[in-house]
Amino acid sequence: MHKSLGNSVSPSELIPKYGADLVRLWVASSDYRVDVRVSDAIFGQLSETYRKIRNTARILLANLGDGGSDFDPARDQVAVADMLPLDRWILAKTNRLVRTCREAYDRYEFHTVYHGINDFCTVELSKLYIDITKDRLYCSGRTSRERRSAQTAMYRVLSAITRLLAPILAFTSNEIWGAMPHTPEERTDHVLLADMPAYDPVLEEDQTEETRFDRLFELRDDVMKALELARAEKTIGKSLEAKITVYTADKEADALLRSFDADTLRKIFIVSDCALADAMPDHTEAIEGAALAVKVEIAPGEKCDRCWMNSTETSADGEGKLCPRCRAVLGK
């Protein structure tokens, strides 16, 4: 901004239009060691980032229940050792984010905090973890270990990112803090009175499992591309209708895929059925540059009205068609 050129932007103009938190977000996102720029276009881009962070928090809150009406951290938390592997993976990623942000705060590098949390919400949470765990959260038994494990992870993730954001999004973070459940020892009157989350080196003592999931998610991108092409060609509607057969000539990738059971792969790829092939499946076109060849077809059986997955064991009663898992959860 140059006062002499008349292109200055006043905070009194920005705050009524975008809100004080977005002005704070702009300050935090700027690397003050170089020239700092401001414009309506920049604020438009930042509003998308803010919306992504806020919507991510809303999804996590929705899966915990209003103020702990569904999940009470003092009663329902699952010990880390008893959590499902994917839930331990997201905790490890959160732990690394905590270390990055705390070190950045110590160096007054607020833009590093901004980028770290934005990337975490966009990739690890929205693109991967939240999408993959929807089925477990919506369709597993309410108090089952599978569901409580995911809720424990979401509670810990939400608590950490809310406190990390507090110095930047002061109003939004406190709004989240007031809506989320808490343990008895936590300060609930204001997020700025709570301690910053602490980095836990124990969560990084064994990174084997985390590395396996990281590599699996790289391969998952190839599966997602194949499913998107199948949707465009009207082979399937939603990915849950699909059965996929996966083949790779890469021995390392093949060994990695086979180290996971079929049910885990089905959940990671969000399909009804997943099989690994020893040879290229018939009528399969490998996507150029992809490590995997993926054959996509309609999964056999009928769609369950509750979880929307196809199953050959789906059966009907007076309330619709249910697969064996949903029938068991509902006590039928």
Is residue 253 a contact partner of residue 290, using CB atoms and an 8 Å limit? Answer: no
- Give the closest residue to 263 by CA, choosing from 88, 140, 153: 140
Tens digit of pLDDT per residue, the chain (332 long)? 777 888 777 888 888 888 899 999 999 999 888 888 888 888 889 999 999 999 999 999 999 986 667 999 999 999 999 999 999 999 999 999 999 999 999 999 999 999 999 999 999 999 999 999 999 999 999 999 999 999 999 999 999 999 999 999 999 999 999 999 999 999 999 999 999 999 999 888 778 899 999 999 999 999 999 999 999 999 999 999 999 999 999 999 999 999 999 999 999 999 999 999 999 988 887 788 889 999 999 999 999 999 999 999 999 877 789 999 999 999 86
Sequence ranges of the chain with CATH classification 1.10.730.20: 3-196
- Give the closest residue to 118 by CA, choosing from 63, 60, 47, 61: 47
Decide: helix, strand or coil at residue 245.
Answer: strand
Count Cβ atoms below 10 Å from residue 230 Cβ, excluding itself: 21
pTM: 0.93
Sequence ranges of the chain with CATH classification 3.30.2320.20: 209-300
CATH topology of domain 3-196: Isoleucyl-tRNA Synthetase; Domain 1 (1.10.730)
Is residue 181 a contact partner of residue 73, using CB atoms and an 8 Å limit? Answer: yes
pLDDT value at residue 68: 62
Q: What are the b/e assignments for 111-122, b being 16+ CB within 10 Å?
A: bbbbbbbbebbe
Residue 106 main-chain phi, psi, to 5 deg:
-60, -30
Quote the tokens at residue 246: 């996966």
Is residue 125 a contact partner of residue 56, using CB atoms and an 8 Å limit? Answer: yes
pLDDT value at residue 29: 94
Instruction: Label residue 273 exposed, middle or buried (CB < 10 Å: 0-12, 13-18, 19+).
Output: buried
pLDDT value at residue 37: 84
pLDDT value at residue 67: 62
In CATH, the number for domain 209-300 is 3.30.2320.20
pLDDT value at residue 144: 95
